[in-house]
Amino acid sequence: MAIPGQHNLITDVAGLSVGHAEDVGVSTGVSVLVPDDRAVCAVHVAGGGPGTRETDALKAGTLVDEIDALVLAGGSVYGLAAADGVVSELGASGRGFALREAPGVPKSPVVPAAILYDLANGGNKDWGREPPYQALGREAFANLGGHFELGRTGAGYGAMAGSRQGGLGSASIVTDDGYTVGAMVAVNSFGSVTVPGSEAYWAAPYEIDDEFGGIPVPAHAGFDPEDWGEAKANPAPRQNTTIAIVATDAVLTPSEAQRFADMSVAGLARAIRPVFAPFDGDVVYALSTGQKLLSEPKPFTLARLGELGASCLARAVARGVHAANSD
């Protein structure tokens, strides 16, 4: 039977570190994931209003197959600058893609990023020409480690999940044959994460050991298909977005990583209703730390990992929101 890893976090996947930073006055934050070595990565952009950096570099047929870090940030377009801070730190340590190895020619760290909209959450955004995100990126990088708190943390600090407090969530699973899959997500969704008229999470069927409260879906639960429960009222473009990372220690090619991303994105649909709306910028990155070869038949093993990625992501959504509303 598959069970959560030691910490039930994405860092249970061998070779990953995560760091977070928040600006309480601004009510925003940044989360950074860094693999020990450059890692194969893919992306699935599902929402209608995404804000991203370097997603095109991850497409099949492009020059770069591996990334040096991933960034999730609040701040809408301003938050993309968090990746600049991470790039600076990685570059200073000599890490990155080298088109030409020569003295005096710096490497180019590849750091894709995705942002969510938290500009209207009541924090002080009067930053003039100095938004805080590059500094927050550096701070999150300095905080890299293997364990972290859920809820109002990092990129999820100023988020809203429907009409309730959003947050930063994570979960992991380890299979009987030794593969580890993990997810990390900042939940700022238009849609609701709970069943209408209930405190039960849509992700309840995937819950393990009461990890987000153990609240069962009411028996014979039924509702109007147009009843979205605690979804946000009157959504506006780019004022939502759920941004996530799924990871595995399995060795994946770029095309296999893309399928892993494409399957894992289903986890958002299991945990949020509605999802992938025109005003959501939902994005899921998928990466491989390349620790364990895919067993034969490889397509079947990849299908297993994709399903585990989806269930991990659904659990991470509920864990993050539950933690944010339990403080």
pLDDT tens figures, 284-324:
999 999 999 999 999 999 999 999 999 999 999 999 999 99
In a domain, 290, yes or no: yes
In a domain, 142, yes or no: yes
In a domain, 2, yes or no: no
Instruction: Give how many domains the chain has, as a whole number.
Output: 1
pLDDT band with cut points at 50, 70 and 90 for residue 238: very low
Stretch 49-71: mean pLDDT: 92
In a domain, 125, yes or no: yes
Alpha helices in the chain (DSSP H): 82-92, 133-142, 254-264, 266-271, 298-324
Residue 88: name the closest of 66, 73, 76, 71 by CA: 71
Residue type, 54: E
Residue 299 has a pLDDT of 97
CB atoms within 10 A of CB 175: 16
Residue 239 has a pLDDT of 62
Stretch 146-159: mean pLDDT: 97
pLDDT tens figures, 167-184:
999 999 999 999 999 999
Residue 11 has a pLDDT of 98
Diameter over CA atoms, the chain? 68
Alpha-carbon torsion, ordered 136, 141, 144, 150, to 10 deg: 30
Residue 302: name the closest of 16, 15, 42 by CA: 42
Domain residues for the domain of 290 are 10-324
In a domain, 211, yes or no: yes
Of all residues in the chain, the percent with pLDDT exceeding 70 is 97
Residue 9 has a pLDDT of 98
CATH number of domain containing 220: 3.60.70.12
- pLDDT of residue 223 exceeding 90, the answer is no
Both tokens assigned to 50: 């995404």
Residue 235 has a pLDDT of 57
Of all residues in the chain, the percent with pLDDT exceeding 90 is 83
The pTM assigned to this predicted structure is: 0.96
In a domain, 5, yes or no: no
